[in-house]
Chain A
Amino acid sequence: MDSSAHQQAYDRGSTIFSPDGRLYQVEYAREAVERGAPSVGVVADDCTVLAARKRVRSPLLEPTSVEKVHAVDDHLAVASAGHAADARQLVDVARRASQQHRLRYDEPIDVELLAKRLANHVQEQTQTGGSRPYGAALLVGGLDVTGGTDRPRLFEVDPSGTPYGWNAAAIGEGTNDVRQFFEAAFDDESGRQWAIETALEGLAVTTDDDLSPETLEVRTIGSHGGGVQTLSTDRVADVLAEVGSE
Chain B
Amino acid sequence: MRQRVHDRTVARNAVESIASAGEDRFAVPARRDGQTNSDDSRAIVKTGTTTLGVVGADVAVLAADTRASLGGQFVTNQRARKIEPVDDRMAVAFAGSVSDAQSFVRRLRADLRLYKLRHGRPASVETAATVAGDLVRRGPYRILELVLAGVDDAPALYQIGRGGSVMRTEYAASGSGMQLAYGALEDAYEPDLEVTEIRSLACSVVYSATERDTASGDGTTLAAVTDDGVDLETFDTPEAAVAATSEEVA
Interface residues, chain A, CB within 8 Å of chain B? Answer: 70-74, 92, 95-96, 99-100, 102-103, 106-108, 145, 225
- Of the candidates A96, A99, A225, the one having the most CB atoms from chain B within 10 angstroms of its own CB is A99
Also in contact, A225 and B6, with CB within 8 A (given A73-B113, A95-B117, A108-B11): yes
The 4 closest A-B pairs by CB, nearest first: A99-B110, A103-B110, A95-B117, A99-B114
Chain A interface helix/strand/loop/mixed: mixed
Q: Out of B6, B107, B117, name the residue touching A103 (CB < 8 Å).
A: B107
CB pair B8 A225 closer than 8 Å = yes
Cβ of B106 under 8 Å from chain A: yes
Give the residues in chain A near B19, CB-CB below 8 Å. none
Q: A106 — which chain B residues lie within 8 A by C-beta?
A: 11, 14-15, 18, 106
Please, which residues of chain B bring their CB within 8 A of the CB of A70?
Answer: 117
Known: A96-B114, A99-B113. A74 touches B8 (CB 8 A): yes
Cβ-closest chain B residue relative to A228 = B117
B109 at the interface (CB under 8 A from A): yes
The smallest beta-carbon distance between B53 and chain A, in angstroms, is 25
For B9-28 the 0/1 string (1 means CB < 8 A from A) is: 00100110010000000000
For A70, the closest partner residue in chain B by CB is B117
Nearest opposing residue in chain A for B114, CB measure: A99
Neighbouring A residues of B11 by C-beta, 8 Å = 102, 106-108
Contact B6 A102 (CB under 8 A): no
Task: Give the Cβ gap from B20 to chain A, nearest Cβ, in Å.
Answer: 15
Name 10 extra pairs, CB < 8 A, besides A71-B117, A102-B106, A102-B109: A70-B117, A73-B113, A74-B7, A74-B8, A95-B114, A95-B117, A99-B111, A99-B113, A99-B114, A106-B14
B138, CB-defined interface residue at 8 Å: no
In the complex, B118 has a CB within 8 A of chain A: yes
Kindly identify which residue among A73, A102, A107, A225 contacts B117, using a CB–CB cutoff of 8 Å: A73
> Would you list 21 pairs from A and B whose C-beta atoms are within 8 A, ordered by A residue?
A71-B117, A73-B113, A73-B117, A92-B118, A95-B118, A99-B110, A99-B111, A99-B113, A102-B11, A102-B106, A102-B109, A102-B113, A103-B106, A103-B107, A106-B14, A106-B15, A106-B18, A106-B106, A107-B11, A108-B11, A145-B8
